[in-house]
Amino acid sequence: MTVGQIKLTDGILLGPMAGVTDHAFRQLCVEFGAEYTFSEMISAKALYYEQKTRKGPLRTAPLAQTFDSDRPFGVQLFGNDPAFFAEAARRIESGDYLGFQGKIPDSLDINMGCPVAKVTSNGEGSALLKDPLLCGRIVESVKKATRLPVSAKIRIGWDRAHINAKEIGHILEQSGADFITVHGRTRDELYRPGVSRDVIGEVCSSVSVPVVANGDIWNASDAISMLRETGAAAVMIARGALGNPWIFRSVKKALRGETFVPPSPEEKISVALSHLRALIDLKGETVGTAEGRKHMAWYTKGFKNSAECRSRMMQAGTYEEMKDALEALLESNK
Ligand SMILES: Cc1cc2nc3c(=O)[nH]c(=O)nc-3n(C[C@H](O)[C@H](O)[C@H](O)COP(=O)(O)O)c2cc1C
């Protein structure tokens, strides 16, 4: 599949996750086989105003920061005003908006799926699905503002009574979207089990741009059945990668008919520690350690005595203290 101008071999993408898919995590997922990564959602408006008022350290722009090791990389924007989207796109493409060393991303993605009330009550995220023409106008204005490929990530509708993914897909394509990701749930289904692969399939057969299928891919066989049942060009994995970047390798191996060897406990802890180190390098020891705790808890799920390790990590404020807690856990699992 070709996403924007980028040819993917296996078609396995890492989904955007707020508070999770920073550079450190994206880079790790790429090492394990993710072929495309996305920033967490970034407010187009915040990006605009941040530049206007610029007091103290930038908070929004760094979310769009990329380096070669996490590419291909798309910056995901959210909002509801085509003009703000266009301005954000222009700044991102110009590359000088960051105020620090960074690179221009490979594409821009528009968030049309976030279900959080704080976002939808402003008419943003999945609330856009209630106004298909506005979805089209947003993509059109970003396309006009930039030469970067533009994608959109949608849910299948606002609720079961208003499933309109096919209509939206059609409008997005007409408006110039280069690819479309479909999370097979409605907004009011949030993250409940049960993804409507049939609706994703309907979008796939009614548009000619590539469709990426998303939702509840927890292992390689979920990825393969998702591709088979929907006819999608690629799959996007989000929660299945938490504490488990190996999922990309396992899907890749399965697609090629090769055997995947699951990681040993030693490998899990070693990768967890290099993830923590990368987070600290990116954000400093205090923030990196604090943000690292949730990741470390995900890596250690399924270990004996992991609750005790988690509570030790809650007290830990440095890399060395986190490392001691993780190594003690490994020892107690031998
Ligand atoms: C913690 C968390 C944060 C998320 N943040 C975003 C986001 O910023 N933008 C977005 O489009 N989707 C976001 N999502 C949704 C995921 O990208 C994905 O569509 C959803 O989790 C379903 O895929 P999965 O079953 O593979 O997790 C988020 C999901 C989670 C769990």
C-alpha distances (whole Å) from 122 to each of 116, 142, 155 are 10, 20, 17
The pLDDT-based confidence of 95 (bands split at 50, 70, 90) is: confident
What CATH code is carried by the domain that includes residue 121? 3.20.20.70
Q: What confidence tens digit (pLDDT) does each residue in 188-227 have? A: 999 998 999 999 999 999 999 999 999 999 999 999 999 9
Q: Which of 111, 192, 239, 247 to mutate to test the pocket of ligand 1 (most atoms within 8 A of CB)?
A: 239
At 59 the pLDDT is 82
Per-position DSSP letters for 6-30, written without gaps between them: EE-SS-EEEPP-TTT-SHHHHHHHH
Paired sense of beta strands 211-214 and 234-237, if any: parallel
* Statement to judge: residues 76 and 8 lie in one domain: yes
Q: What is the residue whose two structure tokens read 């995947």?
A: 260
Q: Is residue 132 part of a domain?
A: yes
Q: What confidence tens digit (pLDDT) does each residue in 60-82 have? A: 888 888 888 999 999 999 999 99
Residues with CB under 6 Å of ligand 1 are 15-18, 20, 40-41, 76, 111, 113-114, 153, 183, 214-217, 237-240
At 7 the pLDDT is 92
Atom nearest to 185 CA in ligand 1: 22
* Statement to judge: residues 221 and 292 lie in one domain: no
Domain that holds residue 46: 2-255
At 257 the pLDDT is 97
Mean pLDDT, rounded, of the chain: 94
* Statement to judge: residues 187 and 307 lie in one domain: no
| Nearest of 235, 239, 321 to residue 276 by alpha carbon | 321
Angle at 328 between CA 290 and CA 296, to 5 degrees: 30
Question: HSE (CB half, 13 Å, CA atoms) of 195?
Answer: 20
Q: Long-range pairs for 277-283 at CB < 8 Å and ≥24 separation?
A: 277/319, 278/23, 278/24, 278/27, 278/28, 279/22, 279/24, 280/319, 281/24, 282/22, 282/23, 282/24, 283/22
Q: What confidence tens digit (pLDDT) does each residue in 247-301 have? A: 999 999 999 999 999 999 999 999 999 999 999 999 999 999 999 999 999 999 9
C-alpha distances (whole Å) from 220 to each of 41, 155, 177 are 26, 22, 28
What are the two backbone dihedrals, phi and then psi, of residue 179, each rounded to the nearest 5 degrees? -160, 165
Distance separating alpha carbons of residues 80 and 96, to the nearest angstrom: 24
Classify 133 as helix, strand or coil: helix
For the chain, percent of residues with pLDDT exceeding 90: 87
* Statement to judge: residues 227 and 309 lie in one domain: no
Which residues belong to the active site? 114
Domain end (from 227, 255, 283): 255
Distance separating alpha carbons of residues 230 and 196, to the nearest angstrom: 10
Q: What confidence tens digit (pLDDT) does each residue in 99-138 have? A: 555 688 999 999 999 999 999 999 999 999 999 999 999 9
pTM equals 0.97
* Statement to judge: residues 54 and 32 lie in one domain: yes
User: Of all protein residues, whose CA lies closest to atom 10 belonging to ligand 1?
Assistant: 16
pLDDT at residue 51 is higher than 80: no
* Statement to judge: residues 95 and 123 lie in one domain: yes
Domain end (from 188, 220, 255): 255
